[in-house]
Amino acid sequence: MAAAPLKVCIVGSGNWGSAVAKIIGSNVKNLQKFSSTVKMWVFEETVNGRKLTDIINNDHENVKYLPGHKLPENVVAVPNLGEAVQDADLLVFVIPHQFIHKICDEITGRVPKKAVGITLIKGIDEGPDGLKLISDIIREKMGIDISVLMGANIASEVAAEKFCETTIEHCCCGSRLLRWPLLWGQHQGSRHPPGPHGNDRFRQDLL
């Protein structure tokens, strides 16, 4: 019996999240082990009298944060965070870093224990105990394997399929095999350093 296709949820829908949704939405169409539908959590807003989720699902464009770039029709905007992450096998975190605690608290216990994640979030958390990496916050709060993607890339250029380079840090070989085909594009080069923190710390040095 064939394994059920893996479900992907993108947590965030700003310009960077929408650019990544374009890549992942296109790639899953050619990857049999992934579900053809990609959910994207969208913080509901009203744009020109219409709900942003309705615009994305009907016009297939995030007109507020990534105008001029069509999203694949299999990318589905979901305004309810719990509904978006339910049954997800892979979580792609793309939200402003200051919201990561709230988001993790809200979805912890709502995703399968087998789920893994990758964070594309820039920045570092500063709290009463000092500085903390975003990947560590997600890992500690949710208890899932989490990897990190970074690169000096601009969302609009990624969406326009201009050449870019990124670095993906993986915590284990299994997660590496899971994420690599989703995030690869013909206009994108990628490097894969070892270790649980090297990539995240290197990114902070660039900020």
pLDDT score at 178 = 56
Indicate the length of the chain as a whole number: 207
pLDDT score at 201 = 43
Taken in order 115, 119, 125, 130, the sign of the CA dihedral is positive
pLDDT score at 169 = 75
Tell me how far apart the alpha carbons of residues 118 and 85 are, in angstroms, rounded to a whole number. Answer: 14
Give 191's pLDDT tier (boundaries 50, 70, 90).
very low
Percent of the chain with pLDDT over 90: 62
Give 152's pLDDT tier (boundaries 50, 70, 90).
confident
pLDDT score at 174 = 47
Tell me how far apart the alpha carbons of residues 33 and 29 are, in angstroms, rounded to a whole number. Answer: 10
Tell me how far apart the alpha carbons of residues 2 and 200 are, in angstroms, rounded to a whole number. Answer: 36
Q: pLDDT tens digits, residue range 18-29?
A: 999 999 999 999
Packing angle between helix 100-107 and helix 134-142, nearest 10 degrees? Answer: 20
Q: Residue ranges per domain, the chain?
A: 6-206
Nearest to 70 by CA among 185, 166, 161, 184: 161
3-state SS, one letter per residue, for 91-127? EEECCCHHHHHHHHHHHCCCCCCCCEEEECCCCCEEE
The model's pTM: 0.86
Q: Does the pLDDT at position 189 exceed 50?
A: no
CATH fourth-level superfamily of 6-206: NAD(P)-binding Rossmann-like Domain (3.40.50.720)
> 75-109 as b/e, with b when 16 or more CB fall inside 10 Å?
bbbbbebeebbbebbbbbbbbebeebeebbeebee
